[in-house]
A = this chain, B = another copy of it.
Amino acid sequence: AQMSLEQGYEARREFDARYRLLLRTVEDPIVFVSVSGGRIKDLNDPAAALLGSSREDFIGAIFANEFVDRGREEFIESLVNAAISEGSQPVTARTRRGQGEVAFVPHVFRAAGERVLILRLDASGTRDQRSTGGQ
């Protein structure tokens, strides 16, 4: 069934609200990064704490700059590759201002014509991601 324009508008507004509350509610550290520019689009407080500053400080920042010795393009490329090929070695990096080694669980999606990485961060670093189950 085709939604009316107004119903569609309301439905999308609801997803917007759900997104914002969900990001605030979860304890997993989460970062959204634009693939094309390599900049942080959004993140939550647990992720900001892990990277070593406030949330406001990181929005719009170049993600690779927050890590030691990671080039902007090769870092994003390695995260996208890890997102595409399941079962590969987890990508890790050392934070510049934060708590040392971080491992990334990356997924990539397309929205509004651009590719976006969603990253779950894990401060335990080199631990095998596949053994860290949901509960």
Chain A residues at the B interface, C-beta cutoff of 8 Å: 9-19, 21-30, 32, 42, 45-46, 49-50, 99, 105, 107, 109-113, 116, 118, 120, 123, 132-135
Inter-chain contact B18/A32, CB cutoff 8 Å: yes
**Given A21-B107, A26-B28, A30-B26: A12 touches B10 (CB 8 Å cut-off):** no
Say whether A23 contacts B21, CB under 8 Å.
no
Can you name 10 extra interface pairs (CB under 8 A) apart from A18-B19, A18-B42, A50-B135?
A9-B12, A12-B13, A13-B111, A14-B116, A15-B15, A15-B16, A21-B118, A28-B28, A46-B134, A123-B135
**Given known A-B contacts A25-B118, A46-B134, A19 and B30 have beta carbons under 8 A apart:** no
User: Which residue of chain B is the closest to A105 with respect to CB atoms?
Assistant: B25
Chain B residue nearest to A28 in the complex (CB): B26
Residues A22 and B135 in contact, CB atoms below 8 Å apart: no
Q: Would B14 and A111 count as touching, CB distance under 8 A?
A: yes
Q: Which residue of B lies closest to A13 (CB)?
A: B112
**Smallest CB-CB A-B distances: 3 pairs:** A46-B134, A12-B12, A17-B111
Q: Once the chains are docked, how many angstroms separate the CA of A125 from the CA of B30? A: 25
